[in-house]
Structure 1
Amino acid sequence: MYGYLKLLLLGIVTIVLLLACHGNISQNVIQGNNNLSTSPLPVATKLVKHALGETRIPIKPKRIIVLNDIGLLDPVLSLGIKPIGTVSYFPEYDFLFRGVTNDEAAGIEIIGTGNQPNLERIIKLKPDLILMREYQKSLYKELSAIAPTVMVDLPGLNYSFKENLRFIAQILGEPEKAEQVITQYYERVQKLQNLMGERLKEIEVSVIYIFGEGLISTYSDNETYNQVFQDIGIRLIPVLANQKEETVVSSIEILNKYDADVLFVMNDTKQLTQAFFKILF
């Protein structure tokens, strides 16, 4: 009988101790006791399919790095999102990006060049999403080890700047914003068409790029400006409209081959432009 009471008392004491212990743990959790480790809240994610596979990314990424200017930085900024890091293709010039002004990119850290992004700088920025282009796919494994990485394959999107914008907007969860940007674009196209009127049918244009001193290059209709011309209804001269090669480099001596009603000249530096006009005049 005594042994039975002893076991009963021992059991009661054990239960009391367990309840007390449980109460302390519960109180610690409620009060946020620093002696107990707490797990961070899980981040909502989604699965994104791209040319290199599938990547799980945050639904609303906040620390985005983009590794291209025209194809990535420009559309991301147009969606009202400012990345924390990007690359420059012209760090030695007075402008850093193509299609984006230095002011528009103010506050974005430069993390190397498009062909050689600095992985150490990327790590320090602690991104939660990296966007890269198809020609950088050799870096995909290294970048994916740093943060979720998605490759935006512009050729796979038929070089369409509109589809590129839509794809990026889907990744970033801003599809409606992309449609707003495209609508605004078509409104501007319509406004120019109205201003030009019948003259659109009468003129032909030519576009050349100052490739180097004494050299020029021309591009196929994959280029964004050619897509814009097509939307407006502006005609390229036949030699450019029929160009099959993606890039053709020529001597400036055959510039007359690209004569047109309007000649658009693209350049990278003021020095090249000055040299170009000295040769002409």
Structure 2
Amino acid sequence: MKIKRPIKLFLLGIITIAFLWVSHIYLFANQQVQGGNNSASSQLPVATRVVKHALGETRIPVKPQRIIVLNDVGLLDPVLSLGVKPIGTVSYFPQYDFLFRGVTNEEAAGIEIVGDGNQPNLERVILLKPDLILMREYQKSFYKQLSAIAPTVVVDLPGLNYSFKENLRFIAQVLGESEKAEQVIARYYERVKKLQNLMGERLKKIEVSVINLFAESLIATYSDNETYNQVLQDIGIRLIPTLVNQKEDTLVSSMEVLNKYDADVLFVMNDTQQLTQAFFQNPLLTTLKAAQNKQVYGVRVDRWWTFGFLGVNKLLDDLFKYLT
């Protein structure tokens, strides 16, 4: 049966329209794939998994790409140690020549600062469009606001017994980098072993003391929770009994009791050169056996007050320098 000419034209027209419509859809999809943030690829489902943390459970991307960390010492340092670079972080020390503890300004180059750790700037956080936010337990008052911006995980140091190694392992588990964490920890123990070998018999003989210059007339000492104490324990370096028996997390004392903290080697943490200069000119220092044996060393807070492996390796650099 022959198809009449008008019907042929009608069918040809329908086929042509359908072809043009399919071509239009293909072209539009292709433009979207190449179109940046509005691309079709960005609309594809993202693989996720559930992470348990101090404030509950959070569904996060399996491989987060835009991470903001709201602490320097306990979050920024460990994340960078794993070879992951966040897009945003906070600083506590804009008045000093260092912005972060454990991490140099150069190591954090290119990371945007979104306020300080006690008051992160939520508007800046929103503008960065994170797909994961890491925060600390003391910042929990911001949790609800942050969770409305992006999946948010609380890293609870008390819950991790203040262990800088377990802190790294937890963060690595969140980021899917557990194997890398074990490599970082293994390299740390290799350096510890090397320092032990270099110290030899001296390791068994010396006692060490660590104080922090709290003010020109005040010193502070800290409990075993502090990372430098954990590192000294790993090496096998003995702290003086006064520090071992300290019950307070932080004890602030007058400079007049400096002799209580005398040792074979005295490390003096500081965050300003002025405090260091005043301390080394204090007549009380001359009464210490550490000073008489020229074994008093000023060390920087941003290298010793650390909770990640970038900082810990800087701390180890100082121990190699002063104890071998």
Normalised by the length of structure 2, the TM-score is 0.77
Among 85, 88, 100, the residue aligned to 1:85: 88
Deviates more, 1:116-125 or 1:270-279: 270-279
Q: 2:109 aligns with which of 106, 111, 132?
A: 106
Identity percentage of aligned residues: 77
What residue in structure 2 maps to residue 9 of structure 1? Answer: none
Per-residue CA shift, 1:72-92, capped at 9, x if unaligned? 111111111111111111111
Q: What is the match of residue 254 of structure 1?
A: 257
**Counterpart residue number, 1:29:** 25
Q: Distance in 2 between matches of 1:237 and 1:263?
A: 10
1:1-281 matches, within 5 Å, as 26-32=22-28, 40-279=43-282, 280=285
1:49 partner amino acid: K
The CA distance in 2 between the partners of 1:53 and 1:22, in whole Å, is 52
- Aligned-pair distance for 1:22? 6.8
Partner Cα distance (1:246, 1:21) in 2: 77
Q: Secondary structure at the residue paired with 2:210?
A: strand
Work out the CA distance in 2 between the residues paired with 1:197 and 1:46.
Answer: 48
Unaligned runs of 5+ in 2: 1-9, 33-37, 287-324
| CA distance in structure 2 between the partners assigned to 1:218 and 1:33 by the alignment | 63
CA distance in 2, matches of 1:166, 1:20: 61
Provide the rounded CA distance (Å) in 2 between the counterparts of 1:274 and 1:27: 76
Change (3 A) 1:124 1:38: closer
Amino acid at match of 1:92: Q
- After TM superposition, the score normalised by the length of structure 1 is 0.88
> Where in structure 1 do 4 or more consecutive aligned residues deviate above 3 Å?
19-31, 33-39
Cα deviation for residue 113 of structure 1 reads 1.2
Q: CA RMSD in A?
A: 2.3
Secondary structure of 2:97 counterpart: coil
Taking the aligned partners of 1:194 and 1:176, their CA distance within structure 2 comes to 27
Aligned pair in 2 of structure 1 residues 86, 31: CA closer, same or farther (>3 Å)? same
Residue 32 of structure 1 aligns to a residue whose secondary structure is helix
Partner Cα distance (1:144, 1:165) in 2: 22
In the alignment, structure 1 segments of 5+ residues that lack a partner are 1-12
Cα displacement (A) at 1:232: 0.4
